[in-house]
Amino acid sequence: MRSAPLLLPLLLLAGLAAAQTTAPVTGRVTDAQARPLSFTTAVLLHLPDSTVAASLATTEQGSYTFASVQPGTYCVKALLISYRPARSAAFVVAAGRPVTVPTLRLAAASTALREVMVTGLPPRLEQHADRTVINVARLNTAGTNALEVLQQAPGIRLDKDENIVYRGSTGINVLIDGKLTYMSGEVLKNYLKSLPASAISQIELLPNPPASMDAAGTAGVLNIRLKRNQLPGLSGTFNVGGGYGRFEKSWAGTNLAYNAGKVRLFARLDGGRYNSFNRLTMRRIIRDTVFNQENYWRPLTYTGNYAAGADVALNARHSLSLGLRGSGDQTTALSTANSVTTDAAGRFVERRQLFNPQDEHGAPRALNLNYRWTIDSTGRELSADADYVRYTSAKEQQFRNLAFAWENAGPGQDVGQLRSANSSGTTIRAAKIDYVHPFAGTQWRAETGAKTSRVSSRSAIQFDQLAGSRWRLDTLRTNSFQYDEHISAGYVSLSTTLGKLELKGGLRGELTQSKGNSPTTGQRVERRYFQLFPSAFAAYKINDNNQLSASVSRRITRPSYQDLNPFLHYTDFYTAHQGNPFLAPSLSQSLVASYIHKDFQVLSLSYLRETNAVNEVVTQDDQTKVSTTMPRNLGRATTLTLSSGGHTTLTKWWGMDNEISGSYNVVTTELEDRHVRLARFGGSASSNHTFTLPRQYQLLVGGYYNSPSVQGLFYTRSAGLLNLGLKKQLWAEKASLSLRLSDVFATNRFRSDLRYNNVNQTCTNQWESRRLTLTFACKLGSGKTRNQRNAGSQEEEGRVGR
């Protein structure tokens, strides 16, 4: 790894701290039971006149750090709605001598907060030194799901199969509340589609996560934070809505919590019925033959998404959390494919038509147990997690192929009928332990931990062929696949604050042992490898409004279980998709450097270099005219991005969030003994405006544009959309009615070209992107609030797919 050039920004930042005359002030805020209070306002007051020197919000662990405080006498005051304020004793700050303030404990206020009005709202986009945060509450998300909301995050795109692309790569790890979803491929997409946007609080993008997180995700980590009700007693939210694009759809859901002293119970249930479509048009040129194909998919899907759990404070220092989440989906679809073949002069040669009824269902579910021990008031903490995850899915299909000798002929000739039944099940067991140790009297902090996980995946597919009036087993297409994996990991990290400079470095090691076996074909692949993953981070606070930061990391993306599965799936008579059990993991080197003014990211530079990146590769048989898509390791993919963006408040009633970026993508690899190189400059821009109108109306106008770019071996064309939304607050802001028109001009579609070796292909993928939706949401509760304790943020990689 050539890490020396990447560390230069860190060394330059370190030199800026040589002559500091300030000192950091740190501390923690908890409730009466010593549970940390996140998002509490900590105010640094200069004495004796109590002028405000600085203020900030505490972290999820209830801690705060004022990085560079001038010498003098101060105190800290903590404020949180529904809690009585608390104030520390006076203390003296001397140059270069860190101060640790004794823990502030807030007592709950018993008065109902019926007249409190919140006038300040967080911006849509927040830029921090190590991450970008999108506050979903500032969006009009009526009728949208989690996958659609992710497209509004900077740097996020979807490819033609709706896989998430970040920083030009599909190697991104998706977490829910700091925990890995354990999912990828179709399972992850279906889960995100079943998760309504109304359940999401924030989306966090971390291009270079710390060593405490799994090394999986060559492009970084995407963390989806869900809403948690904080009212005492029984409280929650309820929403119901409907929409229409080309077809109708409807949904409803509720999010409930019951807080009773040291015990908090919560449950969420969402469901919906979605009727939609997808149209893929493709033009392929094979020597002197032209194929024009149109595949039309019309699914009717019923989805359900649930979560339940309990947080229990055993005493002032020990807590236990139990959580269950899952989803279920049932899809019935009719897929048709029509392929017309012509010669170079445009004369008709042949037409093929496929009727492909489908019926599929899936049921992912996960159970998590978390234990946390706050050892003492200095911040020493021990936490442990155990996870059990189970995914099952099944899919049945029929294939009826017809051939037409003339373009407008009558009933076609039956040229073969097949049927298939595919089932899969994956079990994941994981456990991890983490320990945090601040060094007393210093600003140094150490973290260490270990983790182990075991995966067992079993899949089977059976094909039958119609012979006369009887179905016979098709032994050439029938297959089974078994995959087992064991990962052992450990890490250590060290962080400190030196005046205005914050530093953190870590090293993670992971040992992977895997075995893939197809008893039907005899394919057997075993791997054993150990990798080290260093990471480093630095942030220099010039003053309260300006900050420089830089981070570097080395990461890995292991192939999804779906990609490793060698099963052959048919899209139409001339198109197929097959897995690849010989896929190797991809590795990346990443650098991100940025300059932030307040919450605005004035400039950010991102460099990502992947080796063995897994991407779809199309191989073409010029004799049979069949194109087969298979995931393969490419040689090297490099993405360099320069971006700028953030929130701007133009007036009291007009807020604006803008983001613009330019990138250069290069992919080089060897395919079938030929050198292939793709390179292109690209760019994207987004602008979202929020207008606060009289009578508690809110108007939202926004959209984005993506220029042509390179994704894997695809040259993608431009795409963009415009969204309009109107929101009305009702019943003293206890309810709201939201109207949204998505993709007003129906311009959001995926268009691409493939040009390498003997492959010459152009495709356009269109879906029901233009929709009008109406949603009603209301709050349930007593009107009193209290803070809830967040469960520990743990991770487990997820590569499950169908």
Give tens-digit pLDDT for 505-527: 999 999 999 999 988 888 899 99
By three-state DSSP, how is residue 185 classified? helix
Q: Is the pLDDT of residue 34 over 80?
A: no
**Could you give the CA distance from residue 573 to residue 584 in angstroms, rounded to a whole number?**
30
200-226 burial by CB neighbour count: b if 16+ within 10 A, else e?
A: bebbbbbbbbbbbbbbbbbbbbbbbbb
**Could you give the CA distance from residue 676 to residue 668 in angstroms, rounded to a whole number?**
6
Confidence of residue 105 (pLDDT cuts 50, 70, 90): confident
Q: Is the pLDDT of residue 192 over 90?
A: no
DSSP 373-403: EE--TTS-EEEEEEEEEEEEEEEEEEEEEEE
* Most confident stretch, 6-15, 18-27, 603-612: 603-612
**195 φ, ψ (degrees, to nearest 5):** -90, 110
Distance set, CA 185 to CA 103, 533, 561, 576, 604 (Å) = 45, 25, 9, 17, 30
Fold held by 4-106 = Immunoglobulin-like (2.60.40)
Q: Is the pLDDT of residue 790 over 60?
A: no
Other Cβ atoms less than 10 A from the Cβ of 673: the count is 6
Say what the pLDDT of residue 592 is.
Answer: 95
- The rounded mean pLDDT for the chain is 86
Q: What is the percent of the chain with per-residue pLDDT over 70, rounded to a whole number?
A: 91
Element counts in the chain: helices (H) and strands (E): 4, 50
Q: Is the pLDDT of residue 492 over 90?
A: yes
Residue corresponding to tokens 């009826």? 400
User: Are the C-beta atoms of residues 90 and 47 closer than 8 Å to each other?
Assistant: yes
> DSSP secondary-structure letter at 49?
T
422-457 burial by CB neighbour count: b if 16+ within 10 A, else e?
A: bbbebebebbbbbbbbbeeeebbbebbbebebebeb
Type of residue at 213:
M
**Could you give the CA distance from residue 403 to residue 156 in angstroms, rounded to a whole number?**
42
Residue 764 makes CB contacts below 8 A (sequence gap 6+) with 280, 281, 282, 749, 750, 751
339-398 pLDDT, tens digit each: 999 988 888 988 999 999 999 999 999 999 999 998 887 778 999 999 999 999 999 999
Confidence of residue 21 (pLDDT cuts 50, 70, 90): low
Question: What pTM did the predictor assign?
Answer: 0.81
- Residue 486: which of 515, 458, 519 has the closest Cα? 515
User: Can you read off the two tokens belonging to residue 621?
Assistant: 């048989």
**Could you give the CA distance from residue 369 to residue 387 in angstroms, rounded to a whole number?**
7
Say what the pLDDT of residue 230 is.
Answer: 58
- What is the mean predicted confidence (pLDDT) over 84-98? 85
Q: Is the pLDDT of residue 461 over 90?
A: yes
Q: Is the pLDDT of residue 126 over 50?
A: yes
Q: Is the pLDDT of residue 201 over 60?
A: yes
By three-state DSSP, how is residue 763 classified? strand
> DSSP secondary-structure letter at 205?
E
> Can you give the length of the chain in residues?
802
**Could you give the CA distance from residue 516 to residue 482 in angstroms, rounded to a whole number?**
6
- Residue 790: which of 177, 109, 145, 260 has the closest Cα? 177
Cross-strand pairs, 800: 183
Q: What is the percent of the chain with per-residue pLDDT over 90, rounded to a whole number?
A: 53
> DSSP secondary-structure letter at 790?
P
Confidence of residue 20 (pLDDT cuts 50, 70, 90): very low
Residue corresponding to tokens 């595919």? 422
Q: Is the pLDDT of residue 722 over 90?
A: yes
Say what the pLDDT of residue 789 is.
Answer: 33
Say what the pLDDT of residue 390 is.
Answer: 94
- What is the mean predicted confidence (pLDDT) over 285-312? 92
Cross-strand pairs, 360: 331, 395
Say what the pLDDT of residue 408 is.
Answer: 66
Q: Is the pLDDT of residue 231 over 70?
A: no
587-601 burial by CB neighbour count: b if 16+ within 10 A, else e?
A: bbbbbbbbbbebbbb
Q: Is the pLDDT of residue 483 over 80?
A: yes
Confidence of residue 800 (pLDDT cuts 50, 70, 90): very low
Q: Is the pLDDT of residue 107 over 90?
A: no
Least confident of 129-133, 331-335, 725-729: 129-133
**Could you give the CA distance from residue 535 to residue 587 in angstroms, rounded to a whole number?**
14
Residues spanned by CATH 2.60.40.10 within the chain?
4-106
Radius of gyration, alpha carbons of the chain: 28
Pairing outcome for strands 51-57 and 348-362: unpaired
Q: Is the pLDDT of residue 11 over 70?
A: no
- What is the mean predicted confidence (pLDDT) over 189-211? 87
